[in-house]
Structure 1
Amino acid sequence: MSVLLLRLAAPLQSWGVASRYARRDTQQYPSKSGVLGLIAAARGQRRTAQIEEALTGLAFGVRIDQQGTLVRDFQVALSLDKKKSFPLSERYYLADAVFVAAVAGERNMLEGIATALSRPEFPLYLGRRSCPVTESLVLGQIVETDLATALADTAWQASSWYRRRQPGRVYLPIYRDQIPGDQPEPFAEQVQDVPIDFNPVRREYGWRTVIADRTTVENPDGRLDTHDPFAALGGA
């Protein structure tokens, strides 16, 4: 299996999978539909175009390298003629977050995606149009390994200031597709996050099974934490 790794980092990101009406939420990590939409935009695919099965069939996973801070914003919209105002809406974003996202599949397709992300046809956004891409997305070379190993072994991408605020050992959450050959996971989650149609008139999404995991990284820049919460128990 070939895996293309992406570094998703910007002042603001927003990855909603259940946003409705006047409240637009974000989940704590990038959605598969959002990242595949970003790839489709880079390749020049319009929202009204049919989505390729080869694209939706890519295995997907993400690792949270820098959690970010939840930010709430309020917005008011007017009609084009400015005669009608729409209800006040709440919009949520992740500020200063950093993620490693991985898409796995056939190498030739991944090479084309990497090229498109480097020279996109349309502007790219991290979830919403108010969250433009500000850094290079492609992280290194395409690797020949499985999705879980790629997400576990990739170097930690957090900012230096963030590393200094963390302990000497850090646990990075991983959320990835369940793929053939995986052991049954009793706590796997069903998420409606596979794009079927991006058309704004009739957006449609299918279901996928998400496995939660984590990897451990050593942090030589981390703070010294000598507090032992169990010290008061003594030898009991």
Structure 2
Amino acid sequence: MSVLLLRLAGPLQAWGSTSRFARRSTENAPTKSGVLGLLAAAQGRPRDADLSDLGALWFGVRVDQPGTRLRDFHTAHHAESDKAMPLSERFYLADAVFVAGVEGEPALVDALDEAVRRPAFLPYLGRRSCPPAQPVDLGVRAGVDLVQALEREAWHASAWHQRRAQATARGGAVPLDLLLECAPGEEPEFTLRDAPISFDPRHRRYGLRGLTSRTVEAPMPSPSPAGPRPPAHDPVELLRRI
């Protein structure tokens, strides 16, 4: 087996598993359906494609930077009639960083790695309005299982978050939450309906999956300087020249 690791970091993320009608919620960490949707899009799979091979991948995610929950009051109008659409609430995670991993057969994992590096459709973090801030692919880890790969991966939190953690940490390691898909026969701590069966927009289908949680210790990096202040920037300067 091999493990593909993905860095999921951006200004906004949204990983819904129970969104209904006018309330679009987000979980506190990436969902399996959201990450497998990213991988399927990278491979160029149509929405009605068979997902059984992706669904069989063992999935886990590490919370490197939990971020902050953000609520957006959303309005919209039909383009042709200008008729108002129902008001909705949309929730996001701001400034969050996660490391997600999938474990499976080496041939499939290598193919997914290649697809993420050269995606057929651009990746996004749960919603199309949430692009990643950095390259997503962290590469393939061979000779280890999913848990080992997530435990050994470097801490990918933002520099400012790391400095804040270093100021309050006790000891030489930082505790990070790890969410893992239950192995067969393992008792789940909780369940989510986010195991994708079909992304077909005419009849999306998701199954239940069990999850467990644990805490892992990531090595505390050496303190990094705050760095020079960025140069002054006026975002409308170019418009004044027109």
Alignment of 1:82-97 (within 5 A): 82-97=81-96
Q: Is the 8 A contact 1:163 1:221 kept in 2?
A: no
Q: What secondary structure does 1:78 align onto? A: coil
Say whether residues 1:196 and 2:200 are aligned partners: no
Structure 1 residue 11 displacement after superposition: 0.9
Q: Is the 8 A contact 1:61 1:103 kept in 2?
A: yes
Say whether residues 1:110 and 2:109 are aligned partners: yes
Q: What secondary structure does 2:84 align onto? A: coil
Match of 2:162 in 1: 163
Q: What is the alpha-carbon distance in structure 2 between the residues aligned to residue 109 and residue 218 of structure 1?
A: 31
Match of 2:181 in 1: 177
Where in structure 1 are there 5+ consecutive unaligned residues? 223-236
Q: What is the alpha-carbon distance in structure 2 between the residues aligned to residue 9 and residue 106 of structure 1?
A: 26
Deviations 1:41-87 (A, max 9, x none): 0000121x222311110000000000111111111121131332112
| CA RMSD, Structure 1 to Structure 2 (Å) | 1.8
Letter paired with 1:172: L
Match of 2:232 in 1: none
Structure 1 residue 220 displacement after superposition: 5.0
Match of 2:206 in 1: 205
Q: What is the alpha-carbon distance in structure 2 between the residues aligned to residue 53 and residue 72 of structure 1?
A: 34
Letter paired with 2:75: V
Q: Is the 8 A contact 1:164 1:221 kept in 2?
A: no
Q: Is the 8 A contact 2:109 2:140 kept in 1?
A: no
Say whether residues 1:9 and 2:13 are aligned partners: no
Q: How many residues are matched?
A: 219
Residues 39 and 220 (structure 1 numbering): CA distance in 2 closer, same or farther, change over 3 Å? closer
Letter paired with 2:12: L
Q: What is the alpha-carbon distance in structure 2 between the residues aligned to residue 8 and residue 220 of structure 1?
A: 20
TM-score by length of 1: 0.87
Where in structure 2 are there 5+ consecutive unaligned residues? 224-242
Q: Is the 8 A contact 2:151 2:218 kept in 1?
A: no
TM-score by length of 2: 0.85
Q: Is the 8 A contact 1:15 1:126 kept in 2?
A: yes
Deviations 1:87-110 (A, max 9, x none): 211111111110000000001111
Q: Is the 8 A contact 1:124 1:133 kept in 2?
A: yes
Letter paired with 1:203: R
Q: Which runs of 4+ in 1 moved over 4 A?
A: none
Q: What secondary structure does 1:10 align onto? A: strand
Q: What is the alpha-carbon distance in structure 1 between the residues aligned to residue 101 and residue 131 of structure 2?
A: 20
Letter paired with 1:177: E
Q: Is the 8 A contact 2:152 2:218 kept in 1?
A: no
Q: What secondary structure does 1:61 align onto? A: strand
Q: What is the alpha-carbon distance in structure 1 between the residues aligned to residue 125 and residue 163 of structure 2?
A: 26
Match of 2:40 in 1: 40
